[in-house]
Amino acid sequence: MQSSSQSLKSTLSSLWQTLFGDPMRAFGVVSLLLLISLAIAPAKNHFSEWRHYQKQYLALIVSRGDAVTLQRHFHEHDGIQQIWLPQLGVVDRCTTCHVGLKEASLADVSTQPFRRHPVIPHTLDQFGCVMCHRGQGPATTVEEAHSSTLAWEQPTLPARYVQSSCGQCHRAPLTGTPQLNLGRNLLARYGCVHCHTIKLPDGSAMKPTDDPPSLEHVADKTTREWIYAWLKDPQSYAVTATMPNFKLSDPDARDISSFLIAASTSIAGDIAPVAAGGEVNNKDQKAPDPTAGASLYGESFCASCHAVQNAAGNVVGGDVGPELTRVGNKVKPEWLRAWLHNPRVYDPGTAMPHYRFTDPQLSLLTAFLENKTDSDLLANVHLDAATPEQIAHGKLLVTEYGCASCHEINGIKKPDNFAPELTRIGSKPLTQIIFLPGMTHAIPDYIAAKIRQPRSFGSALKMPQFTLAPAQIDALTTALLALTDRAHDLPMALTVPAKPPSNYQPAGKAGQLMADLACFSCHSINGRGGDMAPDLTWEGSSVQRQWLQAFLKNPGTLRPALIRRMPKFNLSDDDAKELADYILTVYQTPAFDRDSMPASGYPSAEVEQGRQLFYSKYACQSCHIVDTKTDKGYVGPTLTQVGSRLNAAWIYHWLKDPQNMRPGTIEPNRNMNDEDARALTAFLMTQKGSSKQEAKQ
């Protein structure tokens, strides 16, 4: 040891002597050191990551057919690239390494960072990169740009959530973003926004589209046993139930059911007389024809809104109303009968139309639905009479779990902001989040995990367990990720706002009738309503009075291929006339006068010319039927009686520009000249249908 330190000392002193032995030598050495230190910066630059990628890119393109063009594009801007968009807060240097983003000819290159950008409606120069992909725009190293490093906490967005970025500016649904659209629908449909406030950038709050039933009179409708079973596991009653599972213990579910029954008040006064009217209602007494109930269910097109799970386990039917697979386990026969008689007595705002069923029909349908049971569902539910302590505890639980955020419950006020606000959840700082062990520390992972299994973040948390498919969880995460600071802070001029919701309300007696028949559950008028059936905004310009009145009384089918059709409401003559009058007077387009063309009297030559055009030039028979013997087209409505159904002027203008008459219709615009449109109108107006055919349909 001693000798080695001795030798080290001598080595050092000899080294000193060699380097700085005399002034000249020292000057030379110091200059050299200075030069080297000056060279550090350029060397660092020379060996930087991005230069390495640019060299790789040049090597990649040199052997390609269009190398000269690609090289010219590259050399027009080599060095560090930057897209600077002050209005959007974008300073992106991504194109420094991602050199080939705009090169269409690089479609076959799969190695990053040289891939061409897929075709999207925006250009890089307008929007930059981080608007959609997040990450750190100004960074010039791979790690810093993409990952969540120490100083910067915004990593790039995984591709599965990229549609969320579209949602920052686009508030309305887009064709190209089905996942974002679905996610936004789910936020409203699964009632997330009952508990979580989501303020949209325009200042309005997102509104739920589900309609959780009021529980003020729940004891009229169902039993405590059913409530108990439902609370324990809503999906065991109906697989499509959107009610989440609160993972309640047996005593807790017992106490909540006790409280809900105890708090319920009766509206039996309105129900009793109706229920008394039905004698076939008695389950022991069988309906005359066992298939009659099923036929009535079919004829009334209940399945347009209600689904039933079939023997194969598939859920068949619409999702406007609740699934009815086991409805017999749930609702009391007298309640069901009264509900079918007039649903608006129990729930004035229901989407269910008020069918004018006759007494025998009520009995048939009640018996048919009450038979839809599952003997296992309530088999193991045995509840003793509720004690006051249980009821009191139940009330406490109902308050604690925020049940009144969704349901109206007697004696409990709807809580405000029951759960954390999600208005800017997409930009929530990571420091405010407690991640689970082993979880990626990124906001998308946190949101997805929270939706997938809320209670995994703590068994004492109140958020219930939703039943969602993986794609639905991704969609919800996407919609929530769109709620960023950027989305809120963008100048309004740079956003694409959604159409403001319409609160259109038809007036007078017809307006009341339309509410009673729940027309808006399926039809849309002036921007309000469902999309299951045709938009009726300009129906008054379209149809003839006689046809409309007859159709309202007894809706025939216009489109044989559709499984969802207008049900028969058993309207009285007066009601049908009232509705027809209103529709014909109010729902008129300003584009033309509906009486501007005659209903008949077209010269036969013109009619014949129209026939020729129909079958040869325009080949309308591919989608429409005029002659049931030869035509088979099933896409558009059957036109055998179109001359008795539509106004000539409507047909003419429709042929000229269908999308102008009904936006979004799939009939293609044929750019038809006036002469052809007139001839076709003449031909179609002669299609009156025979009275026999009409009777059949």
Partner 1 sequence: MIITKRRRTLFVAVLIFVTAGCTRQPGPASALKPTGFGTALVESSGGKQIGATGMALAQPLVVQVNDEQGTAVTGALVEFGGPAGVTFDPSSGLTDSSGQLSTNVALGGMAGRYQLTARTSTKAQKSVELKSVELKIEEIALGYQEQVGFQLDNKYCARCHNPESSAERVSNYDNLEVKPHPFSEGDTLNKMSDAELTAIISHGGPALNKSALMPPYGYTLSKTEIEALISYIRLISDPPYHAAGMVYAQK
Helix (H, G, I), strand (E, B) or coil at 218: helix
Element holding 91 (H helix, E strand): strand 90-92
Q: Which is nearer to partner 1, 118 or 348 (CB)?
A: 118
Q: CB-wise, 429 or 438, nearer to partner 1?
A: 438
Q: Which of 212, 454, 530, 633 binds partner 1 (CB under 8 A)?
A: 633
Span from 114-122, 286-294, 482-490, 501-509 in contact with partner 1 (CB under 8 A)? 114-122
Helix (H, G, I), strand (E, B) or coil at 144: helix
Site for partner 1, residues 169 to 228, rule: CB under 8 A: 175-176, 178-179
Q: How far is the CB of 314 from partner 1 (least distance, A)?
A: 10
Distance CA 218, CA 305 (A): 22
Q: Is residue 120 part of the contact set for partner 1 (CB under 8 A)?
A: yes
600 or 669, CB closer to partner 1? Answer: 669
Cα distances (Å, whole numbers) of residue 421 to 193, 196, 407, 472? 9, 5, 20, 21
Q: Which is nearer to partner 1, 507 or 666 (CB)?
A: 666
**CB nearer partner 1, residue 112 or residue 546:** 112
Q: What is the pattern of x (binds partner 1, CB under 8 A) and - over residues 302-331?
A: --------------x---------------
What residues from 613 to 632 belong to the interface with partner 1 (CB under 8 A)?
616-619, 621-623, 632
C-alpha span between 541 and 596 (Å, rounded): 11
In angstroms, what is the minimal distance from the CB of 121 to partner 1?
7
Please name the helix (run of DSSP H) or strand (run of DSSP E) that holds residue 316, with its range, or none. strand 315-317
CB of 6 to partner 1, least distance (A): 12
Nearest distance from C-beta of residue 22 to partner 1, angstroms: 29
Q: Which two tokens stand for residue 546?
A: 């006689």
Q: How far apart are CA 613 and CA 681, in angstroms?
A: 11
Q: Are 63 and 50 in contact (CB under 8 A)?
A: no
Q: Does 159 bind partner 1 (CB under 8 A)?
A: yes
693 contributes a contact to partner 1 by CB under 8 A: no
Pair type for strands 315-317 and 524-525: unpaired
Stretch that binds partner 1, among 152-160, 244-252, 361-369, 513-521 (CB under 8 A): 152-160
Rounded CA-CA distance 235/237 in Å is 5
CB of 655 to partner 1, least distance (A): 12
Residue with structure tokens 């003419």?
652
Peptide bond into 113 cis (omega under 30): yes
| 385 forms part of the interface with partner 1 (CB under 8 A) | no
Give whichever of 158 and 213 is closer to partner 1, judged by the CB atom: 158
Q: Give the number of other Cβ atoms within 10 Å of residue 183's Cβ.
A: 26
Q: Cβ 452 to partner 1, closest distance in Å?
A: 11
Q: Which of residues 522-561 bind partner 1 (CB under 8 A)?
A: 561
Q: What is the dihedral of CA 345, 347, 353, 354, to 10 degrees?
A: 0
Instruction: Quote the strand ranges of 445-583, DSSP E.
Output: 524-525, 528-529
Member of 387, 635, 690, 691 binding partner 1 (CB under 8 A): 635
Instruction: Copy the structure tokens of residue 459.
Output: 């068994």
Q: Which stretch in 89-97, 115-123, 268-276, 283-291 sits in contact with partner 1 by CB under 8 A?
A: 115-123
Could you tell me if 168 and 486 are in contact, meaning their C-beta atoms sit under 8 angstroms apart?
A: yes
Burial of 374 (0-12, 13-18, 19+ CB in 10 A): middle
**Cβ-proximal residues to 544 (8 Å cutoff; 6+ apart), any chain:** 599, 644, 645, 646, 647
In the three-class reduction of DSSP (H, G, I as helix; E, B as strand; rest coil), residue 529 is classed as: strand
- List the interface residues with partner 1, window 640-679 (CB under 8 A): 659, 666, 668-671
Q: Residue 530, Cβ neighbours under 10 Å: how many?
A: 15
What is the dihedral sign for C-alpha 402, 405, 407, 410? Answer: positive
Q: Which of residues 474-503 bind partner 1 (CB under 8 A)?
A: 474
Minimum CB separation from partner 1 for residue 175, in Å? 5
The answer to whether residues 124 and 101 touch, using CB atoms and an 8 Å cutoff, is yes
Contact string 422-461 vs partner 1 (x = CB under 8 A) = ----------------------------------------
Using CB under 8 A, which of the segments 24-32, 138-146, 155-163, 511-519 binds partner 1? 155-163
Q: Tell me which of 40, 119, 493, 695 binds partner 1, using CB under 8 A.
A: 119
Out of 22, 76, 108, 384, point to the residue binding partner 1 (CB under 8 A): 108
Give the total of residues touching partner 1 (CB under 8 A): 42
Dig out the tokens for 536 from the structure. 């009726």
Identify the helix (H) or strand (E) that includes residue 207.
Answer: none
Q: According to CB under 8 A, which one of 313, 388, 438, 470 is a site residue for partner 1?
A: 470
Least distance from C-beta 70 to partner 1, angstroms?
Answer: 18
Residues in contact with partner 1 by the rule CB under 8 A: 4, 8, 107-108, 110, 115, 118-121, 158-162, 175-176, 178-179, 316, 470-471, 474, 561, 563, 616-619, 621-623, 632-635, 659, 666, 668-671
